[in-house]
């Protein structure tokens, strides 16, 4: 498996966690993409320093070879997976500030099917 | 000091985001339990991914620019810090966007 495939796997899992497992559906929300754009900006700077100064080195045979600010293009996908996974868990854990110790209803989590603090961008159009 | 290059970059990232807590009052660090609940599983999952990619020979760190401390399992300390700092800063950024939106 190349680094490219490993990153593709991470992105796929992150998307599944967001859309299916936690049902946070962040990738459908404008607030996520604005936040991600900001994170990406800083990632390109910091990753560029790390890759440019060769703090991190990559096996040329494991990557496509296409580089964005010195770093392999794969790292953009890697960062996306890390940020999406993080924010999906963060948003989901916001649903219950103190998880109750009582057992939850088995299998169907009907009560938690709605994402917590739903984004209101559709209604407000901002 | 050169072996702290990676850590210095991480410190820079943290500095670029941490001010959001007091200035915009995003209340992320205040919810430290929720933050732990978020960062620990994510850092754990990505550490496993990272170790697998390292063992496959995809990447390596320059010993001259990193701490050289390797945790049990083979994960460099610098990488673990990365998987803590990036999620924390991502949450700070996300909550900052939410805060600004709600104020608008």
Q: Residue A96 has what pLDDT? A: 52
Question: Is pLDDT of A26 > 80?
Answer: yes
Residues of A in contact with B39 (CB under 8 A): 86
Cβ distance B38 to A56 less than 8 Å, yes or no, reads no
Confidence band of B1 (pLDDT split at 50, 70, 90): confident
Quick: pLDDT tens for A84-117. 999 999 999 996 544 455 665 666 555 555 555 5
What does the mean pLDDT of chain A come to? 85
Handedness of CA A15, A17, A19, A25 (dihedral sign): negative
Select from B29, B9, B14 the least CA-distant residue to B89.
B14
Q: CB-based burial of residue A124 (10 Å sphere; 0-12 exposed, 13-18 middle, 19+ buried)?
A: exposed
Q: Is A86–B101 a contact, with Cβ atoms under 8 angstroms apart?
A: no
B42-55 average pLDDT score: 96
In the predicted structure, residue A125 carries a pLDDT above the cut 50: no
Select from A80, A109, A103 the least CA-distant residue to A21. A109
Tell me whether residues A38 and B34 touch, CB distance under 8 A.
no
Sole residue written with tokens 């649903």: A95
Q: How far apart, in Å, are the Cα atoms of A115 and each of A21, A48, A83, A104, A124? A: 12, 35, 18, 17, 18
pLDDT at A104: 59
Note the Cα B12 to chain centre separation in Å.
11
Closest chain B residue by Cα to residue A1: B56
Q: Among positive and negative, which fits the CA dihedral A124, B94, A83, A104? A: negative
Per the confidence metrics, is the pTM higher than 0.90?
no
From residue B9, give the alpha-carbon distance in Å to each of B39, B51, B77, B82, B97: 19, 21, 14, 10, 24
φ/ψ region of A23 (left if φ > 0, alpha if ψ in -120 to 50, else beta) reads left
CB-CB under 8 Å, A56 with B42: no
- The answer to whether B69 faces chain A, any CB pair under 8 Å, is no
CA distance A76 to A7: 9
């Amino acid at each position: 498996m190349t680094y490219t495939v490993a990153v593709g796997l991470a992105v796929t899992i992150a998307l599944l966690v967001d859309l299916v497992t936690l049902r946070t559906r962040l990738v459908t929300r404008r607030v996520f993409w604005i936040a991600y754009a900001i994170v990406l900006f800083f990632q390109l700077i910091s990753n560029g320093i790390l890759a440019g100064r060769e703090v991190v080195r990559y096996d040329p045979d494991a990557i496509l070879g296409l580089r964005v600010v010195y770093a392999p293009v794969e790292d953009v996908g890697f960062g996306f997976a890390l940020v999406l996974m993080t924010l999906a868990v963060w948003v989901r854990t916001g649903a219950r500030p103190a998880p109750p110790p009582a057992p939850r209803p088995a299998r169907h989590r009907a009560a938690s099917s709605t994402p917590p603090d739903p984004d209101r961008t559709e209604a407000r159009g901002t | 000091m050169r072996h702290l290059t990676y850590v210095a970059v991480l410190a820079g990232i943290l500095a670029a985001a941490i001010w959001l807590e007091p200035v915009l009052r995003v209340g992320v660090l205040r919810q430290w339990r929720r933050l732990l609940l978020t960062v620990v599983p994510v850092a754990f999952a990505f550490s496993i991914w990272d170790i697998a990619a390292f063992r496959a020979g995809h990447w390596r760190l320059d010993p001259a620019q990193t701490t050289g401390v390797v945790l049990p399992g083979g994960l460099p300390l610098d990488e673990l810090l990365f998987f803590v700092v990036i999620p924390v800063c991502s949450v700070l950024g996300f909550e900052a966007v939410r805060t600004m939106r709600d104020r608008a």
